[in-house]
Structure 1
Amino acid sequence: MAKHLIFLLFIFVVMACTRGTKYSDETIKNELRAPSYPLFSLHPQVRLWSSADKLTDRNITFTNGKAFPFVGFLRVDAVIYRFMGSEELPMQAIAPMAFDSEKWEGKFTSLMPEPGWEQPGFDDKYWQLGEGAFGTKDKREVKTQWLSSDIWVRREVDVDPYLLEHRKICLRYSHDDGLQLYINGKQLVNKIDGTASNVKVEIPDSILDTMRGGKALLAAHCENKGKSALLDFGLFVDEPEILIEKVAPMGKWQGRYTTEKPDETWTTATFNDSTWAEGEAMFGTEGEQDVHTPWNTSRLWVRRKVVFDSLLVKNKQLCIRYSHNDAIRLFINGKQLVSSGFKAKNDVRAEIPDSIVETMKNGEALIAARCENWGGKAWADFGLYAEPKEAVQKSVDVQATQTHYRFKCGDVELKLTFTTPYLLNDLKVLSQPVNYISYQAKALDGKEHDVAIYFEVDPHKTFRAGQTTQIYEKDGLVLMKTGRENQKLWVDKEKDAPGWGYLYLGTKDEVTYAQGDAAEMRTHFMKEGSLKEMRKSNEKRYTAFAQELELDSEFPQHLTISFDGLYTMSYFGEDLFPYWNKEGTKKIEELYENAEKDYKEVMAKCYAFDRRLMEQAYLVGGKEYAELCALAYHQTVASFQMSETSENEMLYFTPLVGTVDSYYAASPLFLYYNPEILKAMLAPFFYYSESGKWNKPYPAHDLGGYPFVNGPGKGADFPVEEAGNMLIMVAAMAEVEQDVSYAEKHWETLSKWANYLLENGTDTKGQMNAGSFVARCPHHANLSVKGILGVASYALLAKMLEKQEEADKYLTAAKEMSKEWEMLANDGDHYRLAFDRPDSWGQKYNLVWDRLLGLNIFPERVIEQEIAFYTTKLGTYGCPLDSETNNVKAEWSVWIASLSKDSVQFRKFLLPLYLFMNETKTRVPMPDAYHVSDKGTLTKYWGRPVVGGYFIQLLEKKLNESK
């Protein structure tokens, strides 16, 4: 109770402090550990999340889980701290492989060529041009079919001479079946038979010498001896040089060892190991590759003394890397760091904690290992490395339009904010696919510090083959543009892939930037604190921005990220542009200009909006409700995009236009903030019925999916479900706005749907409903509630339109239908899931609208009896949807909670939902369906807009105030 009083007091303090203030970065802290933290939301298919508690634990991902490498470093007085993204780097591609979802082309023939076909000077002008990989359709990477017995492929590659001088170069290849592969006429691979996937082979100096001129001819002959065929190959830079100092690396090193069990002090630096033998790593089974000291006993004890620069303890994160088979225990200065299982592992990383680092301050360490050999092959190796430090994440705070992080980087605090300014009360800002990443540095010790920030992005990892990235300056802007080449309207029909359109990242602030090898750019930034004078590179996949930070500034610096989807959809034959560019004449630079100009004002609006949402939600539902609503707002609004038809009708839609029942679930949020947006959501369904394209007496379930919206999808109709949904939503709009003109505009259509419900809304027989994702259930009682309330909603609209005769007719009918419903559904102390299923039960969440709209169709005892029964079914994470499943539906759980008469009962239903979101180990964007058990496992539904239904409690307050 004390905690909640403190939270309430803070709300009133913030309200008092921020009134009349143009800009304030105060927030009402959200303490929810989100299943996934929203970072960027630029398009329904370009939403990016952090699925870890710490921003450094892994790369951020799209909603579908695909990684988007976006890395951040802060440089404080020449010491580097990683605050975002993974430190791991893939190989730099000189000539990529289709295996990595990259695009490459080569000339090929299936006819045996003349001798010398593998030589650089061979005339291949009559060979065909094809896209790799080559093979049969059953291989995922194949782009050019190859069905003959043999294929010959030639591929010309430009090689940066710098890489030949400074880096190891390797070839990677996949084949099925036999393969001969040459570089500049010299054979490197010769496989008579068999198959292999993504094999790596280092290129010897004798072949590298032929590439000094900057050219390489990769030539391959592959045989197809069976049903499957595959040929894929590329040239790469081996072992990316990330910012790791090899203090005492693995490989060849001298240490002392024994096979006799030593006394207990053997792990300490003071132990006398003069009687131990001296050997060279790696230790292992004689004859194994890289083994230098044979070891055939069951146990081996090894000691390795290391001396290093003591400044590394302060400036770098120290770690051990090790390989072993079978088990290994590792100690540093007498303290145990690793105790492994018996499974063989190679190049494992173990971070050295502060408690052990403390013993290494003098620049000396004794690394000791006990290794075990359980028969068969054995090996053991370990080394000491120094890496960039990881920033200490102090907090994360999810708000409706922003996610805030705070990090400790030595003596400097970094505040990092991801802003998605989707403000439903500001259509201009809402419609622009623009996000900001803002950052401020503050001295924790009151001293001056040299601080710079670095961001690096690799969009090629996510977008499909054909990606190009360029960076350019225009009118004071520095912009990175990335996207597939030569995009053609509506060619790409894949719905769940962020490959359509162009992603931009840039700013008007003073920054330095570069394109090149990520490891090289990071190293340059570490040394210089900027990307000035960065070496020009042929590598164009990675892009980086660096910026000097003003310490203790009042306002943050920032980068702007945006997405130009080119078109939103083909809408019944009309190609629609996004709303911000509805005439199709604006350039992305103009969008950027506006975004940069409005940055401060938009940030102020977002902070104010976030505080207001938390204040309002807390007052009607408590702290946990407010925190859930903040996360639900972001996810819901980010699921939509906006367009306008040639007849100036605004549209607001998800990639699958509909389903109507998902819009119904999300509607409380839009009814609360801006009913005009809900009208834009429903507009396509009215158009489809009123245009004559749809002649059924109820709405379509959905209208198809991106990019072609031509009519209903492939699924079944939901007649009562969607007719009831439409009528209820339109009635709710009228009540919120106290304006019935929208209903009057569509009265003929609404009347048709109401008449359908009049005839079919009580016993819906075998019709589909929103709960059918669990199982089909004929004669569904909750679906019937919706049908009946749809009729009553029509009566309410008729009354508001002063059509009293119709109002009386449909209101009377709805009340008669409810009486029949109660008789059919009654099962003693509750009401049935289906009329023909005694001893069943199911949530009647649709009843919430009877109270919200003041319809009073169902007796209050029905609601009270149902709520009392649901409390007996509550599990760890909530109340199941019905007696046929253990699935909880999150949005309906909040609607059930809202049926409660008091706050205590409301919280009884809400807190299990909050607990699930706070504890689930499945880190995906906010789920809306999961199992009620202690494990709380998920179904397949997450990241959807239906969580807008959480705002039902706020909507009830708004409706009560309007009456």
Structure 2
Amino acid sequence: MYAQALFLTGASLLLSPVLAWDSTPFSPPSVPLAVRTPYLSVWLPQGAGTALNDAWATFWNGDVAAWTGYVKVDGIPYVWLGAPNVPGAQKATQKSLEWTSTQSIFTLQAGTVDLTATFLSPIEPSDLVNQSLPLSYLAVSVASNDGKPHSVQVYTDITGEWITGVDTWTANWTTTTTGGVLTHQVQLANQARYEEVNDHVQYGAAYHATINTSGVTWQTGQDSVVRGQFIQNTNLANTADTNYRAVSYSWPVFAFVHNLGEVTTSTEPLVYVVGHVRDPAIQYITANNGRQDRSVLFWTRWRTAASAISAFIKDYPNALARANAFDAQVKADALKISSDYADIVALSIRQALGSIEITVSKDRFGRWNTSDITTFMKEISSDGNVNTVDVIYPAWPVFLYTNPALGKQLLLPLFEYQATGQYPNKWAVHDMGSSYPKAVGHNDGQDEAMQVEESGNMLIMALSHAQKSGDNSLLHKYYGLLDQWTQYLIQDSLVPAEQLSTDDFAGRLANQTNLAIKGIVGIAAMSKIADIVGDRAKAKNYSSIAASYVQQWQGYALSSDKTHLTLAYGEDSSWGLAYNLLADKLLGTNVFPQEIFDLQTQWYSSQAHDYGVPLDTRHTYTKSDWEIWTAGLVTSTEVRDLLISSVRKYAADGKNSHPLGDWYETADGSAEGFRARPVVGGHLALLVVPNHS
């Protein structure tokens, strides 16, 4: 199928899986349940349609993160969350799923009552302390569906699988009441600071909490015993199992029951909090190969995890109101493009922001240094690096849209490190560390080399941050570094040597047309930066160089018949998504002529497969982030909508069951290896580029 067949309005809807329940706006590959940080990232795998009580919740990488829910109605127990096999309970019937930018809302029928479970992972861009909290909500309300009163009790538990990817390791746990909040805390018996195993961090603790109102009981112990206690006796025993053991040995669970008594109309929500807290969070390199421990920002407001949890759980009504307002604003903004676009954006924001942690340092007296706030991103799924420049870059639109300060905080560690002179290469570093959460740099210079890619990325992001925020501090403070990288781009952008681009899975290539675009825009960006800091001579010089390079580049990059840009110079039959042109629009550098944008628009209109336009001619796969970036640069609404609807069609096709993968096949909509990556933040590109937003 080629492009023309996809121009039908709503064509993507036709391929959504047929479900036994309503799923609005569509059934995603995996539903975000508690997605706040790289270590609090719990999902419901969907595939062609999986009810909330058809499967276990999983960590982003597919490891089980068991989360169980029962409801008892007039003495009859029903499972509404998870896939427990304790005998004696029926399965509730899922009626609907609705999700927004911040919430996933399930409604299930358990006999004569309907139960609504709202999983809220707040997006709080205007309050970075709130945004930094590694906590998420589950709110449950119940209502009679036959107009008659019914006796109702609600049960939930989590397991030790929330703290480790190795179930044979030993855990211990406690249950406490602080400030009217009941909290289960579970952690590994043997902890290893800053270490990961199977993408799970090996220190800190998981939490499961609820308000200690009348009618609440709790219990810790073997899964079959604790769940059986509820099924047979309604309430839990308020007892602790202190036989600390391996996570998988007699599976200890950490449970609560709320006895709601007689229920007719919808109850006030029962609010639960889940979280994963550790301190310190990040090991950070300083001058002279020093090391600094950095903590998550929320510690500046709360002295203990218990006080943070207490404040968080009691703030639920306000947090929900803020979330609803945020969801409505995002939807209104994205609907100005299209409904398909609004759907993609809503699915992307939790995933993107769930990759970051906002941190703060302490001064020499042990006091919080709130003038030193930096943000760290895990390159989830693809290799686990810290603050990978070419992962921050495709995700960049989500930060420009939600709060440009987050973008600045992501760039700061990269600038600060390279300003110490410890990184030996003349181009920009690829990342801040090979293994999250250790941001310890690459003093040997042996990071993955993406010379033009990362240098251009840093210049483009630094300028766009200043333009969106009005804060020029990065440009002034790190002008020397920005100029150094520009000098490198002048050497290697017009005719790039053989090297990797951000699409490193596609391999090295010389004379990359799209990479040259990035380098040239980077030089043009430096012209604007120089102008901002008052260096008029360099501003003029770099502007002249960029203009000259564009003229020469057109001679190299255009196919001989002038119908399209090639993938690499001189290879007439090759082509690719020239997504780096979007930066020229984002920054307003406008160094590439309009006819190039028109030319590529025409070309892409004839190159689409069933699920979009391939990344380039070497393969039939594509990247969803670059599809949307390309949608932001084309000059035809029809082609723009083709690209957008192709990504939505892929997201809704029911063929994949892990958090949205950005790398997929245009021929059949199957996902490649990536999952849950922050680059889906790039799906917000049309909300930050002039003429679209």
Bin for the TM-score computed over the shorter chain: 0.7 to 0.9
Classify the secondary structure of the residue corresponding to 1:742: helix
Residue 456 (structure 1) shift:
2.2
Paired residue for 1:711? Answer: 441
* Larger-Rg structure: 1
CA distance change for structure 1 residues 495 and 527 in 2, over 3 Å: closer, same or farther?
Answer: closer
Cα distance in 1 for partners of 2:8, 2:662 equals 31
Partner of 1:458: 159
Tell me the CA shift for residue 769 of structure 1: 0.8
Secondary structure of 2:503 counterpart: helix
Q: Which residue of 2 aligns with 1:60?
A: 57
Structure 1 position 873, deviation (Å): 1.6
**Corresponding position of 1:496:** 199
Find the aligned partners of 2:240 and 2:299 in 1 and give their Cα distance: 38
Query: Which residue in 2 is equivalent to 1:956?
Result: 689
1:411, 1:443 within 8 Å by CA — same for their partners in 2?
A: yes
Looking at structure 2, the residues matched to 498 and 66 of structure 1 have their Cα atoms a distance apart, in angstroms, of 13
| CA contact 1:928–1:944 (8 Å) conserved in 2 | yes
CA distance in 2, matches of 1:902, 1:479: 55
1:591 aligned to 2:435? no
Instruction: Tell me which residue corresponds to 1:729.
Output: 461
| Aligned mate of 1:876, from 602, 610, 614 | 610
Residue 480 of structure 2, aligned match among 742, 748, 760: 748
* Shift of residue 243, structure 1, vs aligned partner: 2.1
User: Match of 1:523, as an amino acid?
Assistant: G
Q: Answer yes or no: is the 8 Å Cα contact 1:440–1:552 preserved in 2.
A: no
Question: How many Å separate the matches in 2 of 1:866 and 1:810?
Answer: 26
Cα drift, residue 65 of structure 1: 0.6
In 2, Cα distance between equivalents of 1:658 and 1:537: 40
CA–CA separation in structure 2 for the residues paired with 1:808 and 1:568: 44
1:785/1:529 CA distance change after superposition, 3 Å: same
3-state SS of 1:757 partner: helix
1:411 equivalenced with 2:112 (yes/no): yes
Deviation, structure 1 residue 466: 1.9
Structure 1 residues 918 and 488, CA gap change in structure 2 (3 angstroms): closer
One-letter amino acid of the counterpart of residue 673, structure 1: T
Q: 2:283 aligns with which of 570, 594, 601?
A: 570
SS at match of 1:703: coil
1 or 2, which has the higher helix percentage?
2
CA distance in 1, matches of 2:390, 2:223: 46
Partner residue, 1:812: 544
- SS of 1:779's partner is coil
Note the alpha carbon deviations across 1:170-218, whole angstroms, 9 max, x for none. Answer: xxxxxxxxxxxxxxxxxxxxxxxxxxxxxxxxxxxxxxxxxxxxxxxxx
Q: Counterpart in 2 of 1:943?
A: 676
Equivalent residue number for residue 851 of structure 1 = 585
Shift, 1:472, TM fit = 2.6
1:558 aligns with 2:281: no
Q: Aligned residue for 1:701? A: 430
Count how many residue pairs are aligned between Structure 1 and Structure 2: 638
Counterpart amino acid of 2:547? K
Alpha-carbon distance between aligned partners in 1 of 2:222 and 2:188, rounded to the nearest angstrom: 20
**Paired position in structure 1 for 2:76:** 79
1:658 matched to which residue of 2? 387
Residue 403 of structure 1 aligns with an amino acid whose one-letter code is S
Q: Which residue of 2 aligns with 1:526?
A: 231
Task: Check if 1:515 corresponds to 2:245.
Answer: no
Instruction: Flag structure 1 segments of 5+ consecutive residues without an equivalent.
Output: 8-27, 89-241, 245-387
Superposed displacement of residue 831, structure 1: 1.0
Deviation at 1:43, TM superposition (A): 2.6
Output the amino acid matched with 1:680. Q
Q: Deviations over 1:87-110 (max 9, x none)?
A: 23xxxxxxxxxxxxxxxxxxxxxx
Q: Is the 8 A contact 2:193 2:202 kept in 1?
A: no
Conservation of the 8 A alpha-carbon contact between 2:597 and 2:635: no
CA–CA separation in structure 2 for the residues paired with 1:535 and 1:596: 23
Q: Percent identity?
A: 27
Q: Which has the higher strand share?
A: 1
Q: In the alignment, is the contact (CA less than 8 A) between 1:728 and 1:793 conserved in 2?
A: yes
Where does residue 137 of structure 1 map in the other structure?
Answer: none
The aligned amino acid for 2:436 is Y
Report the counterpart of residue 613 of structure 1 in structure 2.
330
Question: How far, CA to CA, are the matches of 1:537 and 1:758 in structure 2?
Answer: 65
User: Hey, what's the Cα distance between the residues in 1 that align with 2:267 and 2:75?
Assistant: 24
Matches within 5 A, 1:313-712: 388-460=89-161, 463=164, 464=166, 465-490=169-194, 492-494=195-197, 496-510=199-213, 511-532=216-237, 541-549=252-260, 551-553=264-266, 555-572=268-285, 573-581=291-299, 586-619=303-336, 621-646=337-362, 648-655=371-378, 656-704=385-433, 705-712=435-442
Shift of 1:837: 2.2
Could you say which residue in structure 1 is the equivalent of 2:288?
A: none
How far apart are residue 534 of structure 1 and its match?
7.1
Residues 1:496 and 1:909: Cα distance change in structure 2 (over 3 Å): same
Change (3 A) 1:487 1:787: same
Task: Return the alpha-carbon distance in structure 2 between the equivalents of residues 500 and 872 of structure 1.
Answer: 52
- The AA in structure 2 aligned to 1:565 is R
The CA RMSD measured in Å over matched residues stands at 2.4
Write the deviation string for residues 33-57 of structure 1: whole angstroms up to 9, x where unpaired.
Answer: 1110010124303311000231111
Which amino acid counterpart does residue 69 of structure 2 have in structure 1? G
- Aligned twin of 1:922: 656
Deviation at 1:540, TM superposition (A): 7.5
Of residues 38, 44, 48, the one that matches 2:38 is 44
Shift of 1:67: 0.7
Following TM superposition, by how much is the alpha carbon of 1:488 offset from its aligned partner in structure 2, in angstroms?
Answer: 4.6
Q: Which amino acid aligns with 1:691?
A: T
Q: Deviation at 1:537?
A: 8.5
Paired residues of 1:418 and 1:438 also in contact (CA < 8 A): yes
Distance of 2:238 and 2:387 partners within structure 1: 51
1:74 Cα offset (Å): 1.2
So what's the TM-score if we normalise by structure 2?
0.88
- Secondary structure in structure 1 of the residue aligned to 2:209: strand
Deviations 1:544-584 (A, max 9, x none): 2110236534641211112112221211111112211259x
- The secondary structure found in structure 1 opposite 2:174 is strand
When residues 425 and 551 of structure 1 are mapped into structure 2, their CA distance, relative to the original with a 3 A threshold, is farther
Q: Which residue identity lines up with residue 638 of structure 1 in the other structure?
A: G
Distance 1:499 1:449 in 2: 44
On the 8 A contact 2:40/2:134 being kept in 1, the answer is no
**Distance across 2 between alignment mates of 1:696 and 1:714:** 9
Asked if 2 retains the 8 angstrom alpha-carbon contact of 1:763 and 1:784, the reply is yes
State the AA in 2 paired with 1:412: V
Cα gap change, 1:85 to 1:502, in 2 (>3 Å): same
Contact 2:358 / 2:375 at 8 angstroms: preserved in 1?
A: yes
Change (3 A) 1:602 1:3: farther
Q: What is the SS of the residue equivalent to 2:580?
A: helix
Amino acid at match of 2:407: L
Who is 1:196 aligned against? none
| Aligned amino acid, residue 541 of structure 1 | P
Cα deviation for residue 30 of structure 1 reads: 3.9
Residue 744 to residue 554, structure 1, CA distance change in 2 (3 Å)? farther
- Alpha-carbon separation, structure 2, partners of 1:658 and 1:37: 26
Contact 1:460 1:467 in 2 (8 A): no
CA contact (8 A) 1:70 1:457 kept: yes
CA distance in 2 between partners of 1:858 and 1:399 (Å): 37
Contact 1:576–1:582 (CA under 8 A) maintained in structure 2: no
Partner of 2:499: 767
- C-alpha distance 796-537 of structure 1, shift in aligned 2 (>3 A): closer
Kept in 1, the 8 Å contact 2:192–2:202? The answer is: no
- Cα drift, residue 937 of structure 1: 2.6
Shift of 1:501: 1.4
Q: In the TM superposition, what is the alpha-carbon distance from 1:912 to its structure 2 partner?
A: 1.5
The one-letter code matched in structure 1 to 2:618 is E
In 2, distance between residues paired with 1:924 and 1:428? 29
What does 1:183-194 correspond to in 2, within 5 Å?
none
Gaps of 5+ in 2: 1-6, 14-21, 244-249, 286-290, 363-368, 379-384
C-alpha contact 1:243 1:519 (8 A) present in aligned 2: no
SS at match of 1:823: helix
